[in-house]
Amino acid sequence: MTLLDLIANDVLVVVPCLNEKATLPRLLDQLIADSGGADIVIADGGSTDGSLEIVARYRSHFPNVHLLANPRRIQSAGINLAVTTMGRNKRWLLRIDAHCDYPPGYMAGLLESAARHDAASVVVPMITRGQACFQRACADAQNSLIGTGGSPHRHVGEGRYVDHGHHALMRIDLFLRVGGYREAQSHNEDAELDIRLRAAGGRIWLEPRQAIVYHPRKTAGALLRQYFKYGEGRARTMRLHGTHLKPRQAAPLLVPPAVALLPFALLHPLFALPAAAWAATCLLYGLLLGLRARSACAAASGVAAMIMHLGWGTGYLRQFLQPRPGDRHLPALTLQ
């Protein structure tokens, strides 16, 4: 059996989708070219931008492209539904995010990595690239130490076993056994699932040769909302499993209190020092990135990093103060 036959027979490709008209044609062209006929499921959460019409056109020419309505709308629910509906007799789930770009031979490369390293899950690094100036500032921040704290899957390094990475390929039997994605969790659902996968004995391999490209938010407001949700999701994961943040993850939690102290600077300037030190560090770091890249847009990465820190820290603290989440264990998912 050739590798393309293996992909066609063993892999279920799932693409959570909500208003992805701009990226779907290019993405589907690549998936169809690389899939060897594997089933490609677009789990749509109610798109209104023309995405459904695009999928319909592809379905009329490619019988392996399927459209599945996701009434819960969020990605975790859509992937679970696709696996339980169409995962019978499949060994591997390949999660594809519609707002990313993928290298040629992505599926084959992931399967080779899984076999070589005896991994239950293969995750990949994610490199951020932007087009407009604010996107480029976000990209430079998200690719740097000040934006990610040195997270292994946010830069291309050496392959290794990890606790977490950007989700790509995972064994369907283990995915079902641990209960799939937690559908009450709209963000950080991948890291939360990785905790349960590792607890069940699954090994997670980070494969640098299959790094993907992510396109960041286009406006400051959208970036702030995104990172607020990221912070909420991380806090929920930590509280569910009783785990603790690493120092690089905990650092943004100092930002909301520092900002909250600013009004008291009217009483004494010392109250402004924490926020001033944080802002100066971010802006100086961004300026250095801009000088190195000879780009004014890159120099604004310090501002993007400040938005990310404030959103993440505020979201985390808000969720942390909520009532404790429910049971961290989920029942096994059942194939339909």
Q: Is the dihedral of CA 119, 98, 223, 322 positive or negative?
A: negative
Q: Is the dihedral of CA 179, 185, 187, 191 positive or negative?
A: negative
Same domain, 264 and 207: no
Q: Does residue 1 register a pLDDT over 60?
A: no
pLDDT tens digit string along 61-74? 999 999 999 999 89
| Residue 5: pLDDT band with limits 50, 70, 90 | low
Q: Does residue 166 register a pLDDT over 60?
A: yes
Same domain, 148 and 200: yes
Q: What is the pLDDT of residue 273?
A: 97
Domain CATH code at residue 198: 3.90.550.10
> Measured between alpha carbons, how far is 150 from 144 in angstroms, rounded to an integer?
7
> Measured between alpha carbons, how far is 300 from 174 in angstroms, rounded to an integer?
43
Same domain, 10 and 36: yes
Same domain, 99 and 35: yes
Lowest pLDDT segment from 13-22, 151-160, 210-219:
151-160
| Paired tokens of 221 | 């407001």
Q: Is the dihedral of CA 16, 22, 23, 26 positive or negative?
A: positive
Q: What is the pLDDT of residue 328?
A: 66
Q: Does residue 174 register a pLDDT over 80?
A: yes
Give residue 147's Cα distance to chain centre. Answer: 15
> Measured between alpha carbons, how far is 38 from 11 in angstroms, rounded to an integer?
6
Same domain, 204 and 245: no
- The residue segments making up the domain with residue 262 are 228-320
Partners of residue 128 on adjacent β-strands: 214
Residue 13 maps to a domain: yes
Same domain, 102 and 233: no
Which of 195, 216, 237 finishes a domain? 216
Which of 216, 242, 268 finishes a domain? 216
> Measured between alpha carbons, how far is 227 from 279 in angstroms, rounded to an integer?
18
Which of 183, 216, 249 finishes a domain? 216
Same domain, 165 and 52: yes
Q: How many other C-beta atoms can be found within 10 angstroms of the C-beta atom of residue 48?
A: 9
Number of domains, the chain:
2
Same domain, 168 and 60: yes
Q: What is the pLDDT of residue 24?
A: 92
Q: How many other C-beta atoms can be found within 10 angstroms of the C-beta atom of residue 326?
A: 10
Same domain, 234 and 210: no
Same domain, 302 and 236: yes
The beta-strand segments (E) located in the chain are: 11-17, 39-44, 65-69, 92-95, 100-101, 121-124, 126-128, 160-161, 166-171, 204-206, 212-214
> Measured between alpha carbons, how far is 309 from 299 in angstroms, rounded to an integer?
17
176: CB partners within 8 A, 6+ apart = 83, 84, 87, 332, 333, 334, 335
| Paired tokens of 274 | 């924490």
CB 231 within 8 A of CB 322: no
Work out the average pLDDT over 13-21.
Answer: 92
pLDDT tens digit string along 299-322? 999 999 999 999 999 999 999 988
Same domain, 145 and 172: yes
Task: Count CA atoms closer than 13 A to 294's CA, side-chain side.
Answer: 0
